[in-house]
Amino acid sequence: MKIGITCYPTYGGSGVIATELGKELALRGHEIHFISYALPFRLSQYIENIVFHEVEISNYPLFEFPLYSLSLASKMVEVAKFEKLDLLHVHYAIPHATSAYLAKEMLSKNRDLKIITTLHGTDITLVGLEPSFLPLVKFSIDKSDGVTAVSRFLKEKTITNYLCEADIKVIPNFVDSNFFKPVTNGDFRKTIAPKGEKILVHTSNFRQVKRVPDTIRIFEKVQKEIPSKLILIGDGPDRSECERLSRELDLCEKVKFLGKQDGLVEILSSSDLFLIPSQSESFGLAALEAMACGLPVISSSVGGLPELVRHNETGFIAEIGDVDRMAKYTLELLSNEKKYSLFSENARQRAVNKFDTSKVVPLYEEYYEQILKS
């Protein structure tokens, strides 16, 4: 198949999944055309069967704001027409699904370009609920030829919030378990924890919904009982507040802010446990990548996280904001070597058996074929 993929090229789960999906489809012989304003950050090397098309935005003085959605629609038309695309797969509802619908309409006299929209989370649970966007999101979903969501939670939330007529198929996020796996390189661990301390880790975009300060408060309780360090990976609006909180709690020597990192496998494999106390999480891709590296997960009981983390098997789940219980669960695992080893193995096996690339990407291929035949 010839498939156009549009996503946000920056850090974030939707861009990561879209890019990894494109890479896997290309390896399976499909022709992939990425259409976006910048090269997706996980397309750092040449891969056969993948072409990138940059959306150029006009800077005409009359336009006070950049007209990205319209420029994107025009580029979609151009690529679909000259590359003879079979379908457009857009990730994140706005503005990508809207632009795809415009492109479909512009091409309608000559062909029926199929559109598949994948819903990832905040496009439905946050941004799309704003009054200025809600009718547009509903329209774009209903006008898509196919719609997928990354969790059952997100599917139900979409139907409830938008009263959508579209039949939404759940296809979960996935991980390449041959890449995200436990590795035995002790250099990083020796640098971070030279005295053999336990290492807790959290990865996010430091937005308010991630509740990163809760991660620090959990760690503050844990390190009083067990010598440990906390690694925070990523960057975003709440980072300054988190750094301030670390200073206030006198944890500067024990909390390490690493910013955005590409070498996730080494960092995760050198850690002991993953914390994700979010107040909203449609799936929890960061937690899945940690599980694939053999890390048990302590999470909040929100969104799609209970579909990923099995309580008392691959980790523990607690209510949002229950820092005390999350700290208790963390101490329970870190102080019981036999239980920790069992949870670590369970986490790895769940990632491999349920969410590996080889299990999930074929579901997308089957769905593409189903939509093309409809």
Q: Which domains does the chain have, with CATH numbers?
A: 2-174+357-373 (3.40.50.2000), 187-355 (3.40.50.2000)
Q: How far apart are CA 245 and CA 239, in angstroms?
A: 10
Q: What pLDDT does residue 21 have? A: 97
Q: How far apart are CA 360 and CA 315, in angstroms?
A: 23
**Tens digit of pLDDT at every position of the chain (374 positions):** 999 999 998 767 888 999 999 999 999 999 999 999 999 988 878 899 999 999 998 777 777 777 899 999 999 999 999 999 999 999 988 899 999 999 999 999 988 999 999 998 877 777 656 777 888 889 999 999 999 999 999 999 999 888 887 899 999 999 999 999 998 777 888 899 999 999 999 999 899 999 999 999 999 999 999 999 999 999 999 999 999 999 999 999 999 999 988 788 999 999 999 999 999 899 999 999 999 999 999 999 999 999 999 999 999 999 999 999 999 999 999 999 999 999 999 999 999 999 999 999 999 999 999 999 98
Could you tell me if residue 180 is left (phi over 0), alpha (psi between -120 and 50 degrees) or otherwise beta?
beta
Q: How far is CA 304 from the centre of its chain?
A: 12
Q: What pLDDT does residue 45 have? A: 84
Q: What pLDDT does residue 175 have? A: 96
Q: What pLDDT does residue 291 have? A: 98
Q: What pLDDT does residue 121 have? A: 81
Q: What pLDDT does residue 163 have? A: 86
* C-beta neighbour count of 285 within 10 angstroms: 26
Q: What pLDDT does residue 144 have? A: 95
Per the listing, tokens 């975003």 go with 236
Quote the pTM value. 0.91
Q: What pLDDT does residue 206 have? A: 93
Q: How far apart are CA 363 and CA 350, in angstroms?
A: 18
Q: Within 13 Å of residue 76, how many CA atoms lie on the same side as its CB?
A: 33
| Contacts of 73 by beta carbon, 8 Å cutoff, 6+ apart | 99, 100, 102, 103, 106
Phi, psi torsion values for 259, nearest 5 degrees? 70, -160
| Contacts of 37 by beta carbon, 8 Å cutoff, 6+ apart | 9, 54, 55, 57, 68, 72
**Per-residue tokens: 243:** 């750094």
